[in-house]
Amino acid sequence: MNFDLTPEQDQLRDAVRALGRKYGHGYFVEKARAGEHTTELWDDAGRLGYLGVNIPTEYGGGGGGITELAIVCEELAAAGCPLLLLVVSPAIVATVIAKHGTDDQRERFLPGMADGSLKVVFAITEPEAGSNFHRLGTVARRDGDDWVLSGRKCYISGVDEAQYVLVVARTEDASTGKLKPALFVVPTDAPGLTHSKLDMEIVSPENQFLLYLDDVRLPADALVGESLDAGLPALFAGLNPERITVAAMGAGTGRYAIERASDYTATRKVWGGRSIGSHQGVSHPLAHAAVQVELARLMIYKAATLYDAGRDLEAGVAGNMAKYAAGEAAALAVDTAVQALGGAGMTTEYGVATLLGAVRAGRIAPVSREMILNFVAQHVLGQDKSY
Ligand SMILES: Cc1cc2nc3c(=O)[nH]c(=O)nc-3n(C[C@H](O)[C@H](O)[C@H](O)COP(=O)(O)OP(=O)(O)OC[C@H]3O[C@@H](n4cnc5c(N)ncnc54)[C@H](O)[C@@H]3O)c2cc1C
């Protein structure tokens, strides 16, 4: 058993940390408040190769795995810059295209995703279907060689900054009630595709959107893979990377909050010469949160290692557990940090309360804590499905 990163992974961690600190949480919040995107950070990360660490080298990537991408997600978040689009574009979409796309799709999409010039977002959630993607109502209809897509999606992150969206639809003749998914790469400026911004209580430069597909006509090669049979494996290919990288982002956010609070409590004095951190009522909750974050990190890197070794089923269990643990740990860490900072915890200046919305959302998306518990109850504990 080896808990060490390789020297290359260590170097990557240090380099990404340096980039994240160059920008920092102040920059992230400033962009969010101005309704702008973190374009400078994204472009720098792309230029330095961090956005493509998991993309094969023949397409301009680093040739690493989800472990490397988790390191990038964690370290940027630990610097106060949790970038959700890392989870969407390089983790989900690049994996789906690299593993299940056609040669032409790999050549068209992967180099741009590797250098960050191309963002592709991901749309599965629908208003009616919610957590139950077997009920997806976005339908893909064949018309000659073309595909025609109709449906509605919600909470889709980053539509305004992406050139394409990977849409999960179902084929019209899949009338068994079971989802036969089909994935399509849809240009965000395609006729018939419109979006409207959702107002969210999250301080983030990345936004969520309602997406309307009204007879969006696509050429045959918009379908991911060589045939409709690629749909289900392609969809599942994206899920483990999504869970692992979103968990890494949560763990990084937790680390960031605990570091901010510990720096403060070690020096803040309101009772004579003692720091407030010398009181166990202040230090123990922070120490407890630090333990939870570290435990989540263990599961994240276990899941990433299993995934990169091609052990998908085990990675599925570990990835779900990691996502659950990191979601809870991040929410605990940020809440605890706010409390330890007292009034300063609620100021914008100290940069912790600004993360409350994001970590709360991390217990809901991209898969809720309840759906993970359902998964563990069924697949690990052998319980009957409750729904
Ligand atoms: C910030 C943010 C970004 C997002 N980005 C994207 C994106 O880029 N692309 C995308 O496709 N989606 C995105 N989503 C959507 C997200 O994946 C969904 O919100 C999430 O999967 C939950 O679905 P829902 O909101 O429809 O909740 P619902 O399915 O309506 O569930 C509501 C509540 O009921 C619980 N529940 C439902 N069914 C069960 C059950 N059987 N057993 C126990 N509990 C149950 C859920 O856990 C949840 O707590 C995003 C959401 C947020 C908040």
For 108-126, what is each residue's pLDDT tens digit? 999 999 999 999 999 999 9
What number does the ligand 1 atom closest to the CA of 124 have? 11
Q: How far is the CA of 319 from the centre of ligand 1 (A)?
A: 17
Q: What are phi and psi of 224, to 5 degrees?
A: -70, 125
Atom 26 in ligand 1: residue holding the nearest Cα: 130
pLDDT at 176: 62
pLDDT at 133: 84
Cβ(251)–Cβ(296) below 8 Å: yes
∠ CA 367-379-64, rounded to 5°: 60
Atom 22 in ligand 1: residue holding the nearest Cα: 131
Pocket of ligand 1 (CB under 6 A): 88, 121-125, 130-131, 155-157, 202, 208, 361, 364-368, 370-371, 374, 387
The tens digit of pLDDT for each residue in 250-309 reads 999 999 999 999 999 999 999 889 999 999 999 999 999 999 999 999 999 999 999 999
∠ CA 160-162-168, rounded to 5°: 100
The closest alpha carbon to 105, from 231, 221, 219, belongs to 221
pLDDT at 177: 59
Amino acid at 372: I
What is the helix, strand, coil percentage profile of the chain, to 5? Answer: 55, 15, 30
Q: Cα separation of 50 and 44, whole Å? A: 9
Q: Cα separation of 70 and 316, whole Å? A: 15
Q: Which residue out of 124, 156, 356, 368 has the highest number of ligand 1 atoms within 8 Å of its CB and is therefore the one to mutate?
A: 368
Listed as ranges, residues in the chain with pLDDT below 50 are: none
* Token pair of 154 as six digits: 């919600």
What number does the ligand 1 atom closest to the CA of 123 have? 11
